[in-house]
Amino acid sequence: MNDKITISKNKRHLLTLLFFVVALLLIAFANGSVNSYIRRILNLCAIYTILGLSMNLVNGFTGLFSLGQAGFMAIGAYAVAIFTIPIEQRVALYYLEPIHPAIAGIQLPFVVAMLLGGMLAAVVAFLIGAPVLRLRGDYLAIATLGFSEIIRIVFTNLQNITNGALGIKSIPSVTSGTLWWTFSVAILTLVFMRLLIKSSYGRAFKAIREDDIAAEAMGINLFRHKVLSFVIGAFFAGIAGGLYAALLGTVDPKQFYFPLTYNFLLIIVLGGMGSFSGTVIGAFLVTAGLEFLRVMDEPLSIGGMAIPLFRPGLRMVVFSICLMLIVLFYNRGIMGDKEFTWEGILGFPKAVKRKFSRGPAKDGGGKV
């Protein structure tokens, strides 16, 4: 008997609209009720969701092993930092070397600066992608990682633009006191990515991931689609970088070392390569998990007796063990390449009930 639930297109759209309404209500409730620490963690979760989605588009759906997200994130972060700082504060900020005259008098609204950062990241990705995306596998990973480090080193040495190793402080922190900026952008990014993957471009990305030779034989322009995926991923990484700078209120080159990219890679591997639902779950698990386990790095004493295990570094040990257990039991990530669907969600209670209502199997002789 087939108990699979079928939902009409109109009902699916209605359920999706209802979901977004509930999500907005939850964001509004959390925005007004949680303290600043929890709000900061939630903002980081949303920013890392955007970065995970951008990286999953390239790595999970197009099959390109790219490790350049930290560099693109840095471009977006510095764009917001440079162009949102009030003009009157720039003389005091750039005290080692005056800011370049071409940008000294330019101040932009946060949204414009954030979009500018995304577009600059996309332009750099296009320039990088032209030669680099002809590589494959580990060679592509090394090349993109190298370009990410080049971007960071260039920012370290552009004293009259990025303020060099000193970084930029006193960035207007428009996102730290609210959840609306980060979560709104995260939701828009998720919707855009879903629509993109359902389009002909998304099907071409998947075809390239599965077998690029067969995809090219079917008439898909490999280079154009790879560059398109790479540029779109870089754009959203730049947007996330702008939100990150506005959340922290300060940026410097040390924040964008290559290990930061490994955090994003961990998010998409944990959630599932080729699954946007898994990316969202992975972003919240990794970001919130690392923060809530921070208590294990602090000394603990019970009844005046110190617990020797609780010392700096224990948090990462416990977190790594949890990750290994998840990977052992879910070797393709939590979601694999699957997505949440309304049919699956509404049919889940029936599936669970059917599973547990089955009696023990019996053989022909009547013995259990």
Q: How far is CA 230 from the centre of its chain?
A: 15
Nearest alpha carbon to residue 300 among 314, 313, 312, 310:
310
CA distance 252 to 245: 10
**The pLDDT value given to residue 154:** 92
> Does residue 274 come out as left (phi exceeding 0), alpha (psi in the -120 to 50 range) or beta?
left
Chain-centroid distance of CA 68 in Å reads 13
**What per-residue confidence (pLDDT) applies to 102?**
87
Say how many C-beta atoms besides its own lie within 10 A of residue 337's C-beta. 15
Domain ranges for the chain: 37-257
CA distances (Å), origin 109, targets 30, 44, 207: 26, 22, 40
Q: 295: Cβ–Cβ under 8 A, 6 or more apart, which residues?
A: 315
Who wins on pLDDT, 183 or 321?
183
| pLDDT value at residue 280 | 92
pLDDT tens-digit series, residues 244-302: 999 988 899 888 887 788 888 888 888 888 888 889 998 998 888 888 877 776 666 66
Predicted pLDDT at 54: 93
Closest CA to 62 of 218, 338, 274, 334: 274
What mean pLDDT comes out for the span 222-229? 92
Mean pLDDT of 128-146: 86
Is pLDDT at 327 greater than 80 in this prediction?
Answer: no
The per-residue pLDDT for 358 is 62
Phi, psi of 145 (to 5 degrees): -65, -40
Compute the distance between CA of residue 133 and CA of residue 131 in angstroms, rounded to an integer: 6
